[in-house]
Amino acid sequence: MRISSLSQPQRMLATLETGNTQIQKLQDQLSTQQKQTLPSEDPLNATRTSALTQQQAVTAQYQTNITTLNDTLTRQDTLLSSMSDQLLSLQDQLRSMNNATQSASSYASYQTQLSSLSEGIVGLLNSQDAEGRYIFGGTQSDKPPVVMVDGQYQWQGNKGERAVQVGQQQSVNGNSDLSTLFAVGDDPLGFLNQLGQLQKQLSASGSTTLPDSSALSTLLQQSSDVSTRLGSTRGSIGSRQNQLTQLSNVYTDLTAANSEVLSQLQSTDIADTTLQLQSWLKTVEYSSKAYSLMNQFSMFDAI
């Protein structure tokens, strides 16, 4: 048989080259369990993978922000719960003073109790986080919101909010405004200051007279108003935490869905890839044998 051209061997070589390339590609996919090692292998797949990977990173950051913010709000609520307990004890003391017949020896005891409770409340208002920032000072977190000036408590915090981004166009306030919690009239800390006046009266040398019933009733009403405002503040915290929980659940579902899609885009189907590899191995094997046989012939072989 006379071979008129070299086109057949060239086609065989091309088949072998293509086969070896495919074999290497499939072996890499099985080794890395990834469908592609270079974006150029599937530009559309690479674009979708990049977009989903970026979305996963952004979602993870939102989840981190939510966790941190929820911890912050939980800490605030714990402090406010302790403050509520202090107020209840304070109200018990005021009722006892208002309703019972007192002896002179009891005045010092009341003064001590009121002083301890007032100082406890101020201590809670001036609470700091692990980094030393004042929790209830608004955006003035570098100094205590409550200070004593000339025997009177003064508020030096502000109402500034600390917006924490928890969505593309969504943020939640991480601060709780306590600037009017103890307000009476124009004095932001009027209730505490009036308690201070009561303490001074009880500790005055030679004092044997308790404040009249109307003054104590006024303080009780003011303490009730403080408790109501405190409850509203804690309710706001709870509402924000519920919002964060709902968002977190949405992000958890979104992350799971994106992970599944990314797995489909990136991960190799082991069974299918193995079958393709076996097929290409056979193709290369047969093509190699055919090419070897063809090389045994010469253009000068007799017909």
Domain ranges (residues) in the chain: 7-34+267-303, 65-259
Q: Would you state the pLDDT for residue 71?
A: 97
| CATH number for domain 65-259, candidates 1.10.10.10, 3.40.1190.20, 3.30.565.10, 1.20.1330.10 | 1.20.1330.10
List, in sequence order, every residue forming a beta bridge with 155; answer none if it has no partner. Answer: 146
Residue position matching structure tokens 């809670």: 124
Beta-carbon count within 10 A of 86 CB: 18
- Closest of 83, 107, 80, 81 to residue 93, by C-alpha: 107
Taking the chain (303 residues) in runs of 10, the rounded mean pLDDT of each run is: 55 66 64 63 78 92 97 98 96 84 68 92 96 95 95 95 94 96 96 92 67 87 96 97 97 92 70 66 66 60 48
Measured in whole angstroms, how far is the alpha carbon of residue 176 from the centre of its chain? Answer: 17
DSSP three-state, residue 124: helix
Strand stretches in the chain, DSSP E: 146-149, 152-155, 163-167, 170-173
Q: Would you state the pLDDT for residue 103?
A: 61
- CB-hemisphere CA count at 13 Å for 134? 24
Tell me the C-alpha distance between 251 and 197, whole Å: 53
Q: Would you state the pLDDT for residue 114?
A: 92
63 within 8 A of 247, measured Cβ to Cβ: no
Helix (H) or strand (E) holding 4: none
